[in-house]
Amino acid sequence: MHDRPMLDPAHPGAPRPRGVHVLTSEQRVRTGLAGTFAFFADAANLQAITPPFLDFRILTPLPVEMRVGALIEYRLRLAGLPLGWLTRIEEWEPGRGFTDVQLRGPYTRWVHRHRFLPDGTGTRVLDRVEYALPLAPLSAPAHALLVRPALERIFAFRREAVARRLG
């Protein structure tokens, strides 16, 4: 988590709202930019890079036409409780990246930016998630003890799964 004020991309020049946390992840894969982007642009691959303990299921009929405004609905389990989640693609830049935003789900804010940069014959995969929990600042202990460690575990699994598939 970054403690310094960060800009809120929804409101350029304004500081990030209090209670918004940031998680970043980066890895290099051997697959070129086109193949890497194609992998992440296929919503069906989301299930393959999500840890089994979340029991993640895409409810939207596949294939999903990825574009600005595309909606993806899925269900997962957290601590045994079923959770519905609805995401909208807010930005779509083929070959460069995309941003998905949670419309319905467990967070009061979830903005996930996926960026892809050429790196020699491979690709750098960059993730940045801005998220907030309900009832902040009362949720701060739950964030520190449960949510942040779970998100770090999820993204560690994701990096390993991506590395297995893209090298």
In contact, 97 and 91? CB cutoff 8 Å = yes
The CA angle 137-56-156, to the nearest 5 degrees, is 65
Find the farthest-apart pair of alpha carbons in the chain and give their distance in angstroms, rounded: 47
pLDDT at 12 over 80: no
Where helices occur in the chain by DSSP H, the ranges are: 33-41, 45-48, 140-142, 148-166
What are phi and psi for residue 39, nearest 5 degrees?
Answer: -60, -50
pTM of the model: 0.84
Residue 54 per-residue DSSP state: G
pLDDT in tens, 52-83: 999 999 999 999 999 999 999 999 998 788 99
